[in-house]
Amino acid sequence: MPEQQVDLASLEQLVTQMETLVTYCDALRQGAGGFAYMLPADWQGPAMMSFLGSFEAWSVGAQGLSDSAQGLHELAKAVHTAYSTTVENLDTAWSETAASLA
């Protein structure tokens, strides 16, 4: 069987990038939400209603993006943890096997 290798540093970098994406998505949504409702009071009527409808649709999409990013972050963390634990367990097993043969 060919030797399996994992790059734990790359997995750790992926976890960090996914965490950054989640933070960015949340900040974008919150910032846009604050802006959308602070429009000048003189912008009213059909234009304002149209804008708010479009903004609400965008907000639903932005929430979906944020939820997906959070899911990817959790998955990347789980993969990193699983590989790290496996590498540690295999290192321990090989060390114990080598010691018992010595």
**Contact, 19 vs 73, CB < 8 A?**
yes
**Contact, 73 vs 24, CB < 8 A?**
no
- CA-nearest of 30, 36, 59, 33 to 49 is 36
CA distance 102 to 98: 6
Under the banding of pLDDT at 50, 70 and 90, the label for residue 70 is very high
CA distance 91 to 5: 13
pLDDT tens-digit series, residues 4-63 = 678 899 999 999 999 999 999 999 988 888 887 777 666 788 888 888 889 899 999 999
pLDDT tens-digit series, residues 82-92 = 999 998 999 99
In this predicted structure, what is the pLDDT of residue 4?
Answer: 66
In this predicted structure, what is the pLDDT of residue 47?
Answer: 83
Q: How many Å from the N-terminal Cα to the C-terminal Cα in the chain?
A: 25
Out of 1.10.10, 1.10.287, 1.20.1280, 3.30.70, the CATH code matching 2-93 is 1.10.287
Question: Is pLDDT of 1 > 50?
Answer: no
